[in-house]
């Protein structure tokens, strides 16, 4: 069985590199004592497929990864995995998907939010809201296109807010 995991990382965990994040997720999954499918060879690893990597420093509320197992994963697994996770990391949803499901072919893109402390220069496709002393910019970014880096537009925070799947 193949499962699509939805996770979020906030706080100081946003400063982990993509490689460090993958290793942390592997450790969390190993602590659950569920048997996952492994790579072959001398140095076996969990067979994981991840969504688009983010630059270091971006808050992620729309993280995705795929994992295969012969066991049924349910709410109890979700609870167990989150109990052994760092406090700023949470797997919040698990979906059973078809064995031929691929993230690259299934995810259309992501919605990002940028938080500004002063009024930003408007770019094409941006929706801007003034919330008192801050400005919040929302926009869609296609899968495997350039993700905004922290401070790239002078923003205070960069948040990958949610994933959009193809129909």
Q: What are the helix (H) ranges across 107-151?
A: none
User: Mean pLDDT over all residues of the chain?
Assistant: 93
d(CA 30, CA 45): 10
The HSE-up count of residue 100 (CA atoms within 13 Å, CB side) is 0
Domain ranges in the chain are 2-105, 107-165
The HSE-up count of residue 155 (CA atoms within 13 Å, CB side) is 22
Confidence tier at 36 by pLDDT (50, 70, 90): confident
Q: Does domain 2-105 have CATH number 3.30.70.580?
A: yes
Q: Which residues have CB under 8 Å from 142's CB, separation 6+?
A: 108, 109
- For residue 104 the two structure tokens come to 């690259």
Confidence tier at 51 by pLDDT (50, 70, 90): confident
Give pLDDT tens digits for 101-139.
999 899 999 999 999 999 999 999 999 999 999 999 999
Give 14's DSSP letter: G
Evaluate if residue 47 carries a pLDDT over 90.
no
d(CA 164, CA 150): 22
d(CA 14, CA 8): 10
Of 153, 150, 146, the closest CA to residue 119 belongs to 153
pTM for the model: 0.90
């Amino acid at each position: 069985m193949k499962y699509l995991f939805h996770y979020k990382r906030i706080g100081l965990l946003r400063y982990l590199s993509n490689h460090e994040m993958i290793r942390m997720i592997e450790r969390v999954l190993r602590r659950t004592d569920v048997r996952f499918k492994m790579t072959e060879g001398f140095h076996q690893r969990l067979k994981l497929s991840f969504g688009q990597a983010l630059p270091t420093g971006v808050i992620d509320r729309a993280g995705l990864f795929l994992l295969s197992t012969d066991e049924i994963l349910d709410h109890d697994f979700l609870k167990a995995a989150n109990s052994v996770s760092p406090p700023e990391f949470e797997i919040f949803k698990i979906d059973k998907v078809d064995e031929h499901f691929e993230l690259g072919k299934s995810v259309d893109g992501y919605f990002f939010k940028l938080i500004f402390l002063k009024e930003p220069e408007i770019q094409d496709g941006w929706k801007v809201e003034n919330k008192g002393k801050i400005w919040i910019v929302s926009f869609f970014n296609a899968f495997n296109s350039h993700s905004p880096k922290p401070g790239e537009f002078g923003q205070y925070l960069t948040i990958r807010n949610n994933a959009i799947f193809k129909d």
